[in-house]
Amino acid sequence: MGRTSDKFNLFRITQALTKKLFVKTYGCQMNVYDSDRMADALAPLGYQIADGPEGADMVILNTCHIREKASEKVFSELGRLRMIKEKARDQQGRIVKIAVAGCVAQAEGDEIIRRAPWVDIVVGPQTYHRLPELVARVDPSTRSRIVDTEFPEEVKFDYLPVEHLPRGPAAFLSVQEGCDKFCAFCVVPYTRGAEFSRPVFTVVAEARRLVAAGTRELTLLGQNVNAYHGEGPDGKTWNLARLLAKLADIKGLERLRYTTSHPLDMEDDLINAHRDLPQLMPYLHLPIQSGSNRVLSAMNRHHEVDAYLGIVDRLRSVRPDIAMSGDFIVGFPGESDQDFADTLALVDKVGYASAYSFKFSPRPGTPAAGDDRQVPEDVKADRLEALQQLLNAQQYAFNKATEGQRMDVLVERTGGREGQMAGRSPYMQAVNFQGSEDQIGEIFSCLITQAKQKSVSGELGDLKGAA
């Protein structure tokens, strides 16, 4: 009897302490990683993850500032959150705390509170380890607001608690942050700050924990991940190739990837890692942005088209099946028809398995925003359409060429339809197939039966390795 009521009391206490946290993530993979880490930071306070903002006690928008559209989405979402907050207060006497994190928080700071005074906390990408303290300081009675967008002395990774929930079969791991490259169009050096690499041992420790919790594939993240130069256990500086080799020794870690790389930091030993490490997947996201040397120079990219093509050739000579991916900007100030034609020619030469392309978006505080040679919106739109047509055709051709092949697929989640499961091929293709949930986290050989634009269908064969 005593034990039952103890249990019941414990249950009641846990219920009272449990709060619901909803995190909405915009932008790049680093934000996806950060969102999970914010949830880790708040878990000791009793916050558990909710699937939507309704009923949540705290909502965090982890935001992206890279293009105007991304940035403006935040304010429309904040409008919806205001209604949720007011309804909870008026109808249930319940307080909903709202935080804006990420790159818009860093860039706009106080301005967010001015535009949306119902926001309680504004916290930047380098200070979110302080969230527990910031949340405790929010006092709804005084309507105090907290803005913490410092670039602090301390390193957030040293303060964050370990992972609270397993990350799944394919997980992200940030190893490098910030950027010193200052491309003329880009806000990242301002929103994320200077380049910083985590020491090797903290990366390896986190990787081991993730693998012990069921992760089979790790994608190492950084705004310039191949500029990684972390302190090694020998006190020397290790580069990304060396870090990858070390991680490849972890038993149970079947696949490694890294993103995003800059062509300037694509060193020979990293290229050779694609030959030497079987865990390193034959897929590389290597943005060039433009196929015109004139535009590359104006963008402050510090390399020419030939250097990029040289890297692609070297990668293909060590790993002939490597699939390439990239990012492109059309309509950079001063981009002529010929410059754009050069971009199409480059895409033709490389042959991408997938790629992202964007219209240039002038961002406040970046040199390119003040350039008086802005390209008209309709020209940008036409160029984007032409480029996307070409890139889509290449993606479809890539997928089509895999029809009839057998390849390893890591099963990651349930698919859209009944009995359907989804995973990824070594080349990052999304693969759909008939399967069951108990296959999640395992790698199967899979026959690719049908190519689509953004995915392929397949039939599962033999299990490659049990989790």
For residue 189, the partner it binds in ligand SF4, ligand F3S, ligand SAH, none, with Cβ less than 5 to 8 A by kind, is: ligand SF4
The amino acid sitting at 197 is: S
Q: Which is nearer to ligand SF4, 181 or 216 (CB)?
A: 181
- Which of 327, 371, 382, 459 is close enough to bind ligand SAH by CB under 6 A? 327
* Contact predicate 283/325, CB 8 Å: yes
* Contact predicate 51/22, CB 8 Å: yes
Question: Pairing state of beta strands 406-414 and 420-424?
Answer: antiparallel
For residue 31, the partner it binds in ligand SF4, ligand SAH, ligand F3S, none, with Cβ less than 5 to 8 A by kind, is: ligand F3S
Q: How far is CA 173 from the centre of its chain?
A: 10
For residue 121, the partner it binds in ligand SAH, ligand F3S, ligand SF4, none, with Cβ less than 5 to 8 A by kind, is: none
* Contact predicate 224/261, CB 8 Å: yes
Q: How far apart (Å, rounded) are the C-alpha atoms in residues 215 and 165?
A: 12
Q: How far apart (Å, rounded) are the C-alpha atoms in residues 128 and 156?
A: 7
What Å distances lie between residue 373 and 2, 336, 376, CA to CA? 78, 10, 9
We find the least distance from the C-beta atom of residue 75 to ligand F3S, in angstroms, to be: 15
The amino acid sitting at 452 is: K
Report how far apart the first and last C-alpha atoms of the chain are (Å, whole number): 41
Q: Which is nearer to ligand F3S, 66 or 443 (CB)?
A: 66
* Contact predicate 363/185, CB 8 Å: yes
What Å distances lie between residue 151 and 128, 156, 379, 456, CA to CA? 11, 10, 39, 43
Q: How far apart (Å, rounded) are the C-alpha atoms in residues 245 and 216?
A: 16
Chain positions 213 to 232 lying near ligand SF4, rule: CB under 6 A, are 223-224
What Å distances lie between residue 233 and 230, 256, 324, CA to CA? 10, 21, 33
**Residue 271 sits in the site that holds ligand SF4 (CB under 6 A):** no
Chain positions 139 to 198 lying near ligand SF4, rule: CB under 6 A, are 179, 181-183, 186, 188-189
- Which of 20, 65, 167, 262 is close enough to bind ligand SF4 by CB under 6 A? 262
Question: Pairing state of beta strands 176-177 and 196-197?
Answer: antiparallel
Q: Which is nearer to ligand SAH, 105 or 188 (CB)?
A: 188
We find the least distance from the C-beta atom of residue 26 to ligand F3S, in angstroms, to be: 7
* Contact predicate 42/58, CB 8 Å: yes
The contact set with ligand F3S (CB under 6 A) reads: 27-28, 30-31, 64-66, 102-103, 187-188, 191-192, 223
We find the least distance from the C-beta atom of residue 307 to ligand SAH, in angstroms, to be: 15
Reported as half-sphere exposure (CB side, CA atoms, 13 A), residue 153 has a value of: 0
The phi and psi torsions of 418 (rounded to 5 degrees) equal -50, 125
List the structure tokens of 26. Answer: 């915009």
List the structure tokens of 365. Answer: 């505080």
For residue 216, the partner it binds in ligand F3S, ligand SF4, ligand SAH, none, with Cβ less than 5 to 8 A by kind, is: none
For residue 329, the partner it binds in ligand SAH, ligand SF4, ligand F3S, none, with Cβ less than 5 to 8 A by kind, is: ligand SAH
For residue 361, the partner it binds in ligand SAH, ligand SF4, ligand F3S, none, with Cβ less than 5 to 8 A by kind, is: ligand SAH
For residue 65, the partner it binds in ligand SAH, ligand SF4, ligand F3S, none, with Cβ less than 5 to 8 A by kind, is: ligand F3S
Q: Which is nearer to ligand SAH, 62 or 223 (CB)?
A: 223
Q: Which is nearer to ligand SAH, 151 or 182 (CB)?
A: 182
Sign of CA dihedral 26, 365, 329, 218: negative
We find the least distance from the C-beta atom of residue 374 to ligand F3S, in angstroms, to be: 21
For residue 182, the partner it binds in ligand SAH, ligand F3S, ligand SF4, none, with Cβ less than 5 to 8 A by kind, is: ligand SF4
* Contact predicate 344/291, CB 8 Å: yes
Which residue stretch of 56-64, 121-129, 333-341, 355-363 sits at the interface with ligand SAH (rule: CB under 6 A)? 355-363
Binding mask 204-243 vs ligand SAH (x if CB under 6 A, - otherwise)? -------------------xx-------------------
Question: Pairing state of beta strands 19-25 and 196-197?
Answer: unpaired
* Binding region for ligand SF4 (CB under 6 A): 179, 181-183, 186, 188-189, 223-224, 262
Return residues touching ligand SAH (CB under 6 A). Answer: 66-67, 185-186, 188, 223-224, 260, 262, 287, 289, 327, 329, 358, 360-361, 363
